[in-house]
Amino acid sequence: MRKIALAAKGALIGTLLMFICAGVLEASSQIYFGAIAVRNQVTSSMMVLLEWGPVEGSAPQEITSFKIYKKVGSGNFEEITTVANGLVFSGQLQAFFSESGEERQKEEIINWLGIAYPDENPGTGNFDDILHSILDPADQKYNPMQAHFLSRYSRDVARSLGLAYLDRDGVPAGSISYMITGILNDQSETGPLGRVTVDASAETILPAPQNFRQVLVSRCSVLRRQIDHGRIHLNWEVPSTPEKMPSRILTYGYDIYRMEKP
């Protein structure tokens, strides 16, 4: 007998707001802003991952950078960093993946590059240059679909594209609120584009998918009556109720586990 479990991967979204900045940005542009509490696998300290981006298309070009503000408990918001809107240099990309606790992120992205670009022979010494080429619109290797997928797949890719920030230092247990604003071409600052609150006392657990089940494909067609032989087809439902839609937006995939029993 085989038992298979399913776990969600991703981040919890915060506030979904419209860009309305005195007519500078189109009101139809929307951005998501989410936060998830994660544990540093080396130091065991808590961190908070912030992710943002357009619901469709790309972030408005009028925004040159994003400012992140932080509030602990009932305190006041204080600016903690500014993140440029766009791809960083290859050296900074490598630095993100080389930080303590990001070892799994590096291993997973090198494994993915090895499958997608085997002729490049990606490894710890050259993965950053290969990855940067895929993400750089000015490079021949640039692939917009891969860039979007990788920004959802890897938090360090999202950081390299200016779509995420990892709050690594001095994260206290309890309620922490974050706010994001945009800096425009004329250096003026927009109003809040999103706010989110996260409990940093423990790692964030995403809601499990619903109605996880085996699907017998042979029932769908006489021509496929043998297709279930030696195969297991699975299906499940993602959260669809209004209160669960935020987590659906930032859930980028699922891990499937299998356990064999006699």
Encoding tokens for residue 175?
Answer: 């309620």
Cα–Cα separations (whole angstroms), residue 240 to 53, 107, 207, 209, 243: 21, 33, 12, 10, 8
Residue 179 pLDDT more than 90? Answer: yes
Q: Global pTM?
A: 0.78
Does any domain span residue 179?
A: no
Tell me the C-alpha distance between 188 and 185, whole Å: 7
Domain that holds residue 221: 210-260
Residue 165 pLDDT more than 80? Answer: yes
Backbone torsions φ then ψ of 235, nearest 5 degrees: -150, 160
Does any domain span residue 198?
A: no
Does any domain span residue 92?
A: yes
Does any domain span residue 247?
A: yes
- Nearest CA to 54 out of 80, 78, 25, 79 is that of 25
Tell me the C-alpha distance between 255 and 16, whole Å: 26
Tell me the C-alpha distance between 124 and 121, whole Å: 10
pLDDT tens per residue across span 137-161:
999 999 888 998 899 889 999 999 9
Q: Contact 109/122 with Cβ under 8 angstroms? A: no
Q: Contact 141/120 with Cβ under 8 angstroms? A: no
Q: Among the three residues 132, 161, 190, which one is the final residue of a domain in this structure?
A: 161
Q: Which amino acid is at 131?
A: L
Does any domain span residue 42?
A: no
* Residues whose CB falls within 8 Å of the CB of residue 135, separated by 6 or more in sequence, listed in order: 87, 142, 147, 150, 157, 160, 161
Q: Among the three residues 101, 135, 161, which one is the final residue of a domain in this structure?
A: 161
Q: Which of 4-18, 26-40, 190-204, 208-222 is the least confident region?
A: 4-18
Q: Note the pLDDT of residue 201.
A: 92
Long-range Cβ pairs for the range 99-106 (8 Å, 24+): 99/166, 99/168, 100/40, 100/42, 100/43, 101/40, 101/41, 101/42, 101/43, 101/47, 101/168, 102/156, 103/41, 103/42, 104/41, 105/154, 105/155, 105/156, 106/156
Are 153 and 215 in a shared domain? no
Average pLDDT (179-201) is 91
Q: Residue 208, by phi and psi: left (phi above 0), alpha (psi -120 to 50) or beta?
A: beta
Does any domain span residue 130?
A: yes
- Nearest CA to 10 out of 161, 213, 158 is that of 158
Does any domain span residue 151?
A: yes
Q: Among the three residues 141, 161, 181, which one is the final residue of a domain in this structure?
A: 161
- pLDDT bucket at 15, cuts 50 / 70 / 90: very low
Encoding tokens for residue 238?
Answer: 């993602």
Encoding tokens for residue 2?
Answer: 């085989």
Backbone torsions φ then ψ of 90, nearest 5 degrees: -60, -40
Does any domain span residue 4?
A: no
How confident is the prediction for the chain on average, in pLDDT? Answer: 82
Encoding tokens for residue 10?
Answer: 């991703």
Give how many domains the chain has, as a whole number: 2
